[in-house]
Amino acid sequence: MKKITAVIPIRKGSQRVKNKNLRNFGTEESPISLLELKIETLKKVSLIDEIVVNTDSEEAIEIAKREGIKYHRREDYYASSACSGSDFFEHLGKTTETDIFIYSPVTSPFVSVESYEKCIKLFLEGKDLDCVSTVSKVKEFLWLDGKAINYDPKNAPNSQNLPDIVALNFGVTVVTKENLIKNKNIIGHNPKFVETSDIEGIDIDTELDFFTAQQIYKKLKEGESLL
């Protein structure tokens, strides 16, 4: 049997949202950080053999210890802005003892257990796939360098009739360790994309993202279904 490992990459600092990974994301009565919430979700995914927190944060390491999961103490370079995305992905592959790697950032707090299991099963059953990754549909009028890139401005369609462009939302990506190292990327040459709901596709990147996601989380905790 191939070993399946979910890796939670988390940095000590955050350039745009201060301490977003570790500060309280829940309520005053039930505080929980994005890291703790992600661990809570991953523990419920039956197909995952191991969870690893890859971090330069001592606080994150203490949380990993408390939760009974493994951690890798990241070297300073791989937690710095000098480290390129390609170097970082290669590092994740080389420092994780596994066969199948699941990229699981805490900034996607609403990815469901069912979506994790769906992506893993698709990957295991796919014959020619080299990764499975979640995406969000983009129905926007896009421009680049002064030119429309996905529609004709002289014959503008309704937004629902725009081309079916998708964007990686980094909620879940499943890839082999071998391909992660070889490609220096979680996305391979023959990906399978899984479209998520708008809420599952939320990626916290700004203070507004954090606030909005926090309000959604509180509503869900109150029992209001928004998915």
Q: Tell me the per-residue pLDDT of 7-45, one tens digit each, with 9 for 90 and over.
A: 999 998 776 788 899 999 998 888 999 999 999 999 999
pLDDT given at position 226: 61
Q: Which secondary-structure segment (H or E) carries 211?
A: helix 207-221
In this structure, is residue 211 part of a structural domain?
A: yes
Inside any domain, residue 157:
no
Residue 217 CA to residue 155 CA, distance in Å, equals 41
Give a yes or no: residue 154 inside a domain. no
Residue 146 inside a domain? The answer is no
Q: Is residue 84 part of a domain?
A: yes
Q: How far apart are the first and last CA of the chain?
A: 34
Using an 8 Å Cβ cutoff, are 22 and 33 in contact?
A: yes
What per-residue confidence (pLDDT) applies to 123? 97
What pLDDT, on a 0 to 100 scale, did the predictor assign at position 1?
Answer: 84
Structural domain boundaries, residue 179: 4-134+170-221
Residue 145 lies in a domain: no
CB 191 within 8 Å of CB 133 = yes
pLDDT of residue 29: 84
Per the structure, the count of domains in the chain is 1
In a domain, 66, yes or no: yes
Query: Domain for residue 20, yes or no?
Result: yes
pLDDT of 172 > 60? The answer is yes
Interhelix angle 34-42/113-125, rounded to 10 degrees, is 50
Query: Mean of the pLDDT values across residues 59-68?
Result: 97
Looking at the predicted structure, is the pLDDT value of residue 64 above 90? Answer: yes
What does DSSP say about strands 131-138 and 165-176: parallel, antiparallel, or unpaired? antiparallel
* Spatial distance between the Cα atoms of 190 and 182, rounded to a whole number of angstroms: 14
The CATH number of the domain holding residue 54 is 3.90.550.10
Q: Residue 225's pLDDT is what?
A: 65
